[in-house]
Structure 1
């Protein structure tokens, strides 16, 4: 179900990544900005000796289908479920927006718009940042802590959520465009923990939609106001 609800967004971002959707004159040579998480996944495949333009999307598809098979889930669904998941994801963005509003005196919620591509970049952030930090990192941490180290379930869950949340916050400073600030780091850590808890409670699809909705509202609506 997560794959079905996210597939239209994945296709749109992949068209953008291929340069088929971008601002600027038709036929002009355009530099297409990408989400850092998307590039990190590409770099990981490159280290493994595999190169391909759409490998992140294929990897996401394989992971979600693999999880479906391993859980022995049924291969049937109700058409209304993806729509309901989308609405739920948007609804879960509201508490995070309130949290950001409360911290607004300390943290700048939105940055400047990103040209005409800000909405697509928000979509990419919601999908691929959640793929890296929740679907991959948090899941691997849980596997190591519970199955290999033998940590109790509660402690393993809290550790995985907090560690992935902290790394999610620090990840935003990989770009030289933004300097490290403790206040923004604390807010992003809180957001990362929120996404991690939502991932464990409601699944990847709802979490990715929530992330998209939050980014679109903050980056798009607030920065354009």
Structure 2
């Protein structure tokens, strides 16, 4: 099997909320780290009072850092935008936050939430990241992929909005257990099966995506752009 992971260069995974990055591409993050690639994760939002408690927000941040250490993330970036309230942030400000992130990281490869996700935060982060990723000079992200997030991507209305139809599958059979262990770090977010956000559901999805391309486990993505 040809390992194109080596071509990814500096990779940036953008998560609207803590745990989206593990749900969507935790296996790929670990595989990239094992291959010696620099992997940055940006957590776009943070829970704020009165909607969320300070204690809860601090706890999720600690969980995210523990998960990222396990996966081998190079650096975690916290943008601290308001969770579940991005629609109240001026779009120019959100674009600016993404632009500053891209300027700091200078990523070659981007993983984004899917535009059709049911959560509005996901949709807005996708759009602003696409603004930041515009090819306006000689250095810009050459590869952009949209990942799926259990309980967000699959709860959308594909007959009305964009449906997730993956055309990129990345083998994660060697890193699936680390993905599940990283998700287990999010004790505040883990559910009990048949809750979608449970280790059993994550394993089942990875096995299904893998079997689709005759692999033991995989993560699936929609290719947005690739420049070769």
Bin of the TM-score, shorter chain as denominator length = under 0.3
**Could you tell me the TM-score, scaled by structure 1's length?**
0.25
**Could you tell me the TM-score, scaled by structure 2's length?**
0.25
Name the larger-Rg structure. Answer: 1
Q: Going by fraction, where is helix more abundant, 1 or 2?
A: 1
Q: Going by fraction, where is strand more abundant, 1 or 2?
A: 2
